[in-house]
Structure 1
Amino acid sequence: MDESMAAVLAAFIGVVGALGGTLLGVWMQRRATLEQVAAQERAEQRGQLRVDRAASYAEVMDASERFIASLDDVVAARRGSVPPNAPREQWSEMREESQSAMRMLRRAIWNVRVSGPEEMADLAKELYDVNMKRFKVAFDSALSLEEMDAQLNVRNADFRRTRAAFVAGAQRVLGNGVAG
């Protein structure tokens, strides 16, 4: 092999090496960019999921608070001038308001089931169940005021415990509570 052929071969190897290095660099850069875009999309999805979860958890709490207010009206009416055996129309508005709040809570539970995790949906369902028991006690005209108060005290303690568990679970899931 003469010198000119060796020079051509060396130049060719240099060009192939440079071209290979460039292509490898472009491929690695493209791969890094795609990984970065995918990581950013995952982060955005996690952020959106957190926002969705926070909204659905707040919706559960709002519906629960709305129910508490409606139930307080019922209890006050029973303690006041509206006896439980009063004409149905006097109780129908209060019953409808409580039932409306419970429907709102049921819808909120479905939103929690969608946004997850399942544990939070179960806690939201427990809130609903406790509230339904409170509803039944408040509207039970067979109970005396003393019996109603005694049963509501038990149910209210159950509600506070369940609400605290729901809030603690929400804080843990959203990452803004104390771990453990």
Structure 2
Amino acid sequence: MTERGTPSEFARWVEPHLTAMTRYAGRRVAPADRDDVAQEALIRAWQRWSTYDESRGAPVAWLIGIVADRCRRHRMRQPAGTVVELVDTGAPAPTYDVDLERAVDGLSHRQRLAVDLHYFVGLDVATMAEVMNCAPGTVKATLHQARARLRELLGDDDD
């Protein structure tokens, strides 16, 4: 691969995907660590930018893969039982649906990945297929199965 370009060119290239990268990091690590992990992923992406091959997929798929790797590494570095000290920033605390979060955690790894990428990160099926390294039909089936499992876990008896 050839050298890609300047830092400002990289910034323009990666900027449309920053929200997806940060959202995905926020789904995989503690909220307090989200921005640090996203920053680590950006550094790694800059270092490896010359290896990106556009014929193998969209930039966001490549970048999400790097975020996933940085999240795994971050979790491995955290000692078991780590206590995180919360700092009051004055900003409103994010709201979470605890039941939904527990239900999503009850999904298989592949189903959780599909739910995170589609509903929390906002990726389309084609991009998800690139990230998950499978066919778009497999993504659709995985989402269908995940929704059915979530209904079961949440006790939705409206059927």
- TM-score, normalised with respect to structure 1: 0.29
Bigger Rg over Cα = 1
Q: Larger relative CO (CA 8 A, sep 6+): 1 or 2?
A: 2
Identify the structure with the greater helix proportion.
Answer: 1
